[in-house]
Amino acid sequence: MDPVLEIDGLCLEFRSDRGPVKVLDGITLSVSRGETLGLVGESGCGKSVTGLSVMRLLPSPPARVTAGDIRLGGESLLSLPEAGMRGLRGKRIAMIFQDPMVSLNPVTTIGAQLAETLAIHGADGRLRSRVEAALAAVGIGDAAQAARAYPHQFSGGMRQRAMIAMMLACRPEVLIADEPTTALDVTVQAQVLDLIRDLQAEIGMAVVLVTHNLGVVAESCDRVAVMYAGCVVETGPVAAIFAAPQHPYTRALLAAIPRADADSATLSVIEGRVPDLVDPPQGCRFHPRCPRASDRCRTEKPPRRDLGAGRYVVCHHPEADA
Amino acid sequence: MSALVTARDLAKHFGGGGWPRTGPVVRAIDGVSFDIPRRGALGLVGESGSGKSTTARVLLRLQEPTAGRFRFDGEDVFALRPAALRRLRARMQIIHQNPMAALHPAMSVLDQVRRPLALQGIGTRHSRTEAAIELMSQVGLSPEQGRRMPHQFSGGQRQRVEIARALITRPDFLVLDEPTSALDVSVQAQILRLLTGLRAEFGLTFLFVSHDLGVIRHMCDQVAVMYLGRIVEIAPKDSFFATPRHPYAQALLSVVPVPDPAQRTRPRSRLTGEPPSPRNPPSGCAFHPRCPMAQDICRREAPVLRPLAPGHSAACHLAEARP
Amino acid sequence: MATTEPSGVAAPAAGAVFLNRFRRNVPGRIGAVLILLLIGVAFAAPLIAPQGFDAQDLSKMRHAPSADHWFGTDRYGRDVFDRVIWGSRIALRVALIVVAIQLAVGVSLGLLAGYFGGWVDRIISGLVDLVWAFPPLVLALGLIAALGPGLENVIIAIAITSWAPFARVTRAKTMSLRQRDYVEAGIAIGERQGAILLRYILPGVVAPNLVLATLTVPAAILTTSALSFLGLGAQPPSPDWRAIRNDGRDSMRDAWWISVFPGLALVATVAAFNFVGDALRDALDPREDS
Amino acid sequence: MLGRLVWRLVLSAPVILGVSVIAFGILHLTPGDPVDAILGARASEAQKLAMRAELGLDRSFPAQYATWLGNVLTGDFGTSLMTRMPVLDTIGARVPYTLQLTLSAFAISILLGIPLGVFAATHQNGLGDHLTMGGVMLLYSTPEFWLAMVLVLVFAMGLGWLPVSGARSWQHLVLPALALGLPEVGAVARLMRAEMLATLRDEYVLTARAKGLGPLHITYRHVLRNAAVPVVTWLFLALPWLIGGAVIIENIFAWPGMGQLFFQAILRKDFPVIQGLLLLIALLTVLSNILGDIAAGAIDPRIREGR
């Protein structure tokens, strides 16, 4: 299957008072049509920044890409002029955000915000019916009335639906969903994830689901990329990685979750804390917290190992070696 | 075994006063009752607006209750005068959700940890400092960190400071209001492990408020589910997770994402709609508009908690009809 | 629910961030230097202009600026430069007294209203609404009509008519601080109400009031000079910077320096405080965090 | 709309009542006997007695106030001590002039201030921003009376383009309106810029960019509208403050408005006129604030529904 979106060795820095912060270090990812890739990790690991840099929505300065490329359908996004990129946003590649309370304009109706997306990407004259169709497609009951409503008149779940309607109105090839359910209650979260899945099946788009919740990944992604301190440490099919994580970080992370479906004995604890990315550790960025770390991990960047069946791990001593 | 904590018919209503009237009375919680035995841990779970945090605050009189009784080790807490209440606070403490906001931003960490002792008039200045330093090392902070200000700490460390401050007066009862929901999974694991250890060591009784059923299952031995200001189900942990009785609890449990792709195909009861607003509650059973099994009676009559198994009660007209 | 654990580094001290931001603000720095200069001049007035502000030399009436008299002389032959120097004392005194009264009244009323709510709040907020219902200068004029002209009465009138913003800001901030977890934690460990107000809430309302003060100082100076201009403020021969009223107006065509130089001093002072106020607000603005 | 206006006025009744107490009671703040202050020390006992009776000072404060308020409600504000004319007529003759002056200044401050603020915000930290904001800050820091004199010096006395003072033609309005409006331009531009920059950080701006909208579209359709809400509220809050400035400007330019009358009344201790002016100006202030809320509500539906 040909990937729609490819990120190839992306390195990115933020300018700061204390020197450049190396936020992303050689991110390599791809996602295909109809596929959902989970981008998972703890705060500060760079998962949201990765999503935003695909959209080229990071302000520059302070952000600066120092190496690598991002390609949509084989075409490099980083070399596009801003006007060309603007033509792609919302049309071929779309993004939804964490907090639907603040990501809609409070003084404009839902319908107007939706119509604007359609208009800018060259929809024909029947805007009103297309707006209503888009709202109906995300399960908003009275679409005509909803189009006239303002965001604050909607509940959190409804707002996220409206946001999805707005972003998917042009049937994009790629959707980047940045923690789309984190601000929602768990029963509403399930509805929104179902909705994204249904629309994905209908449109055939690729979805990059950025989340900190491994449960959400297990339930709604085909493949997963686990990030730590600006690096992807492990990628592969969800079933395989959850069954047998190869990177010590993935393994520890999975064992740290208290589960609702079974009694968990003791939770695994990762000692230490996330490194300072102004001065990241030499070698493997995880080595100061890794129980398996060797001298090699302290000096040498681990290679990206191909484990077959679409699995990759970035580690000198993966579990498979044990 | 006598209960350390006995809460009866707690209620907290907002608004309704003033001129011109500021809107309808909002019943944030209504008729909430539960017992927690000494050294027990009750998990209070619910979605936003369910009233779980309000329950915790009313209990500690951080918000004054509208009605209800709370007996703590035989003492009628809601009847206490300010001075007596301040003395009792040595025995019941709270841990907040957001460790970024729960510490005084301009007071050193050591000062904050030993402050409760001074307020209770315990020990000398020197002995209070000693005690604070010892407890700080017990929760995993070094003494030299004591001079620092809260903003110099990470979220996990601040939560440790808050725990030390709460435990310095050796309380019996700890209210934990979403103590780890602002933290990353790996930090959450550290804090949960710490709390488990401290609970055993200090013989603590927990009221653990959380929206995360996994955390509740890990930390508690009793579960109460809240929906729109009322407890709809309360049960021992094992009984609850094995056979939840209330349709809301069943739905909640079935939609919690589980980090195990093999379970993707498990049967789920998906709810439509969103939790209603306490400003405008539905008639009868508050859950009926979202309930897959709702009958006429559910629209008319509010169900009360009824015992369905030993220690296991649910507020549902139809609960018995199900296995 | 959002995970907020930051990257591993501890944040630098808030004070350091603040200083750093303030230092990067060039107009703010210029303003700060000007204010220091103003304070210095006010203290050193007897040294800079030893002959005082009222030394008349009727042989030198309305002389244009020259090497002897940098800013020229007025119609009594008084040196305009000397009067500007001495005038800095008036500007500074007005600013200090007014701000002190505003802070004392506004902050304490705001704290009480915001913390206790209910009837206390309703009464204090009602008072604020009342003061707010008059344009400040108009109410000040009304007060002066009753109290009579004079610099002291002007200061009283300005203070009475301009504490309301402090009370409003303090009340709003207090209400939001009261909801903060750390204040609740203070109550939970058994702090008394007085301690909550003074140790937990008061420090939190300092920053917005400080910003407000730097922005109302120039307003107070402007209002004083306006009232003095109308002849209701500082009385002759005081060297108030408005020093312009009738003598200024009459002689505008043939002796422009009499009004222009004190005016420039006024503009520079007011601008300096405004620049510093802006810089302070930017430096203290939590929204700038990223 | 009209209904909301009336309802808000009804809600303001307590404030208006309190304002009337202040307006009336201010006379009683006079140290010593107000009659001495009004008539001077050389007045005879008989004159004093007559004045005391005219002002109603021979009765208790509540009784005086009740009478005064009752009269005011029927449109009788008393008689001016200066002109011996009804206060309402005296003030009424002045109102159009003050409205002309303040509304012109208001228009100047909006028409110049808002575009300047938008320009500075869209060129943040550029040379244009710094120059605009530097200039605007100087305007903002300039006292009206001084600006007025400089304007007169340059445009009336120096260039001779415009009259020095008086109110006979539209040319007479130009300098006073500029002197009153230009400092306000600074305030408006600064506020507009700050609100624009704050709004640019809001998350829906990111959403708008993610939809593919261009910077111009985002600035004018999304940011401007949101940033306008606090600006509009502030504009109507500050509109009555211009009346304060008008007291000074009208005196400099001999503009026969309420401000000039106010000043004369203060000098002559004409308390009935002062009381009437205070009450009237406070009413205008309350009205202006209500209009501001309604205007803000027209832009922001949350404000519309919140009240």
Mean pLDDT (whole number) for D228-232? 92
CA distance D211 to chain A (A): 4
Answer yes or no: is D112 within a domain. yes
What element of type H or E holds B301? none
Q: Are D242 and D106 in contact (CB under 8 A)?
A: yes
What percent of chain D stands above pLDDT 90?
33
Q: Are C109 and C73 in contact (CB under 8 A)?
A: no
A266-306 confidence digits (pLDDT tens): 888 888 888 889 999 999 999 999 988 999 999 999 999 99
Q: What is the pLDDT of residue C286?
A: 52
Q: Shortest CA distance to A263 belongs to which of B244, B267, B219, B311?
A: B219
Q: What is the pLDDT of residue C287?
A: 46
CA B102, B104, B110: angle at the middle one, nearest 5? 105
Q: Are D303 and D296 in contact (CB under 8 A)?
A: yes
Whether residues A117 and D203 touch (CB distance < 8 A) is answered with: no
With contacts defined as CB-CB under 8 Å, which chain A residues touch D195?
A: none
Q: How confident is the model at residue C185 (pLDDT cuts 50, 70, 90)?
A: very high
Do D123 and D251 belong to one domain?
A: yes
State how many domains chain D has. 2
With contacts defined as CB-CB under 8 Å, which chain D residues touch C263?
A: 143, 146, 149-150
Do D55 and D117 belong to one domain?
A: no
Q: Are D187 and A73 in contact (CB under 8 A)?
A: no
Backbone angles phi, psi at A218, to 5 degrees: -60, -35
Beta-carbon contacts of A187 under 8 Å, excluding residues fewer than 6 positions away, are B47, B251, B252, B255, B271, B274, B275
Answer yes or no: is D304 within a domain. no
What ipTM score was computed for the predicted complex, to two decimals? Answer: 0.84
| pLDDT above 70 for D185 | yes
Answer yes or no: is D199 within a domain. yes
Nearest to B258 among A42, A215, A238 (CB): A215
The distance from CA A107 to its chain's CA centroid, rounded to whole angstroms, is: 28
Mean pLDDT (whole number) for B3-14? 93
Do D81 and D159 belong to one domain?
A: no
Whether residues A107 and D300 touch (CB distance < 8 A) is answered with: yes
Rounded Cα–Cα distance for residues B58 and B39 (Å): 21
Q: Is A18 exposed, middle or buried (0-12, 13-18, 19+ CB in 10 A)?
A: exposed
Rounded Cα–Cα distance for residues B267 and C2 (Å): 28
Q: What is the pLDDT of residue C245?
A: 47
With contacts defined as CB-CB under 8 Å, which chain A residues touch B192?
A: 258, 267
Beta-carbon contacts of C175 under 8 Å, excluding residues fewer than 6 positions away, are C114, C117
What element of type H or E holds D236? helix D224-238
Of D239, D256, D273, which residue constitutes the final position of a domain?
D256
Q: How confident is the model at residue B227 (pLDDT cuts 50, 70, 90)?
A: very high
Q: Which of A66-70, A123-127, C11-15, C251-255 has the lowest mean pLDDT?
A: C11-15
What element of type H or E holds A40? strand A36-40
Mean pLDDT (whole number) for D94-104? 93
User: Cβ of D282 under 8 Å from any chain C Cβ?
Assistant: yes
Give Cα separations from D102 to A102, A140, D108, D151, D258 (angstroms): 39, 50, 10, 18, 11
Beta-carbon contacts of D62 under 8 Å, excluding residues fewer than 6 positions away, are none
Q: How confident is the model at residue A322 (pLDDT cuts 50, 70, 90)?
A: low
Mean pLDDT (whole number) for C115-120? 90
Whether residues B258 and A260 touch (CB distance < 8 A) is answered with: yes
Handedness of CA B102, B108, B109, B114 (dihedral sign): negative
D105-144 confidence digits (pLDDT tens): 999 999 999 999 999 998 888 888 889 988 888 888 888 8
Beta-carbon contacts of D219 under 8 Å, excluding residues fewer than 6 positions away, are D118, D122, D196
Q: Shortest CA distance to C156 belongs to which of C165, C169, C166, C146?
A: C146
Do D41 and D148 belong to one domain?
A: no
Q: Are C273 and C217 in contact (CB under 8 A)?
A: yes
Count CA atoms closer than 13 A to B272's CA, side-chain side.
9
Q: What is the pLDDT of residue C252?
A: 60
Do D163 and D245 belong to one domain?
A: yes
Q: How confident is the model at residue B22 (pLDDT cuts 50, 70, 90)?
A: low
Mean pLDDT (whole number) for B101-121? 92
Rounded Cα–Cα distance for residues A186 and D97 (Å): 64
Q: How confident is the model at residue A121 (pLDDT cuts 50, 70, 90)?
A: confident
CA distance C177 to chain A (A): 23
What residues are paired with B223 via a beta bridge?
B43, B235
| pLDDT above 60 for C7 | no
Answer yes or no: is D283 within a domain. no
Whether residues D301 and A55 touch (CB distance < 8 A) is answered with: no
Packing angle, helices C257-284 and C202-229, rounded to 10: 170
Which CATH number belongs to the domain containing residue D238 in this structure?
Answer: 1.10.3720.10
Q: How confident is the model at residue D251 (pLDDT cuts 50, 70, 90)?
A: confident
Q: What is the pLDDT of residue D4?
A: 76
Mutate which: C1, C176, C189, vs B, most B CBs within 10 A: C189
What residues are paired with A223 via a beta bridge?
A37, A237
Instruction: Respond yes or no on whether the N-terminal peptide bond of residue A281 is cis (omega within 30° of 0).
Output: no
Q: What is the mean pLDDT of chain B?
A: 90
Q: How confident is the model at residue C243 (pLDDT cuts 50, 70, 90)?
A: very low
Residue D25, domain extent: 17-90
| pLDDT above 80 for D282 | yes
Q: What is the pLDDT of residue B16?
A: 62
Mean pLDDT (whole number) for B245-255? 92
Q: How confident is the model at residue C1 (pLDDT cuts 50, 70, 90)?
A: very low
Q: What is the pLDDT of residue B289?
A: 92
Architecture of domain C9-289 in this structure: Orthogonal Bundle (1.10)
Do D69 and D214 belong to one domain?
A: no
Rounded Cα–Cα distance for residues C168 and C102 (Å): 12
**In chain C, domain spans:** 9-289
Mean pLDDT (whole number) for A152-176? 92
Q: What is the pLDDT of residue C21?
A: 72
Mean pLDDT (whole number) for A234-239? 95
Q: What is the pLDDT of residue B237?
A: 94
Residue B169, classed as helix, strand or coil, is: coil
Do D106 and D54 belong to one domain?
A: no
Q: Which residue has the higher pLDDT, D161 or C172?
A: C172
What residues are paired with C73 via a beta bridge?
C79
**CA nearest C186 in B: which residue?**
B104
With contacts defined as CB-CB under 8 Å, which chain A residues touch C4?
A: 43
Q: How confident is the model at residue B53 (pLDDT cuts 50, 70, 90)?
A: very high
Rounded Cα–Cα distance for residues B97 and B280 (Å): 27
| pLDDT above 50 for D33 | yes
Residue B10, classed as helix, strand or coil, is: strand
CA D132, D136, D140: angle at the middle one, nearest 5? 170
Q: What is the pLDDT of residue A213?
A: 93
The DSSP bridge pattern shows strands A231-237 and A304-308 to be: unpaired
Whether residues D22 and C134 touch (CB distance < 8 A) is answered with: yes
| pLDDT above 60 for C11 | no
| pLDDT above 50 for C8 | no
State the count of interchain CB pairs (< 8 A) between A and B.
Answer: 128
Do D86 and D100 belong to one domain?
A: no
Of D32, D56, D90, which residue constitutes the final position of a domain?
D90
Q: How many helices (H) and strands (E) does chain D have?
A: 16, 0
Nearest to B154 among A156, A214, A273 (CB): A273
| pLDDT above 70 for D193 | yes
| pLDDT above 90 for A242 | yes
C130-154 confidence digits (pLDDT tens): 988 898 889 998 998 888 888 888 8
DSSP for residue A173: S
Do D121 and D248 belong to one domain?
A: yes
Do D82 and D103 belong to one domain?
A: no
Answer yes or no: is D146 within a domain. yes
The B306-309 sheet, strands edge to edge? B92-95, B173-177, B205-210, B41-45, B222-227, B230-236, B312-314, B306-309
Q: Are A260 and B214 in contact (CB under 8 A)?
A: yes
Whether residues D251 and C232 touch (CB distance < 8 A) is answered with: no
Instruction: Respond yes or no on whether the N-terminal peptide bond of residue B179 is cis (omega within 30° of 0).
Output: no
Answer yes or no: is D277 within a domain. no
| pLDDT above 90 for C265 | no
CA distance A41 to chain C (A): 11
DSSP for residue D156: I
Rounded Cα–Cα distance for residues D72 and D86 (Å): 12
Q: Shortest CA distance to D121 belongs to which of D188, D192, D179, D208?
A: D192
Do D188 and D61 belong to one domain?
A: no
Residue D85, classed as helix, strand or coil, is: coil
Of D34, D66, D90, which residue constitutes the final position of a domain?
D90
Partners of chain C (3+ Cβ pairs below 8 A) = A, B, D
**CA nearest D303 in A: which residue?**
A107
With contacts defined as CB-CB under 8 Å, which chain C residues touch B155?
A: 4-6
Answer yes or no: is D33 within a domain. yes
Residue C130, classed as helix, strand or coil, is: helix
Do D165 and D68 belong to one domain?
A: no
Rounded Cα–Cα distance for residues A190 and A157 (Å): 10
Q: How confident is the model at residue A199 (pLDDT cuts 50, 70, 90)?
A: very high
Answer yes or no: is D270 within a domain. no
Rounded Cα–Cα distance for residues A93 and A51 (Å): 11
| pLDDT above 70 for C87 | yes
User: Cβ of A44 under 8 Å from any chain C Cβ?
Assistant: yes
Q: Are A186 and B48 in contact (CB under 8 A)?
A: no
Q: Which of B15-24, C91-100, D192-201 has the lowest mean pLDDT?
A: B15-24
Cα dihedral D195, D196, D197, D202 in deg (nearest 10): 90
Whether residues B251 and A158 touch (CB distance < 8 A) is answered with: no
Q: Which of B3-17, B228-242, C43-57, D33-47 has the lowest mean pLDDT?
A: C43-57
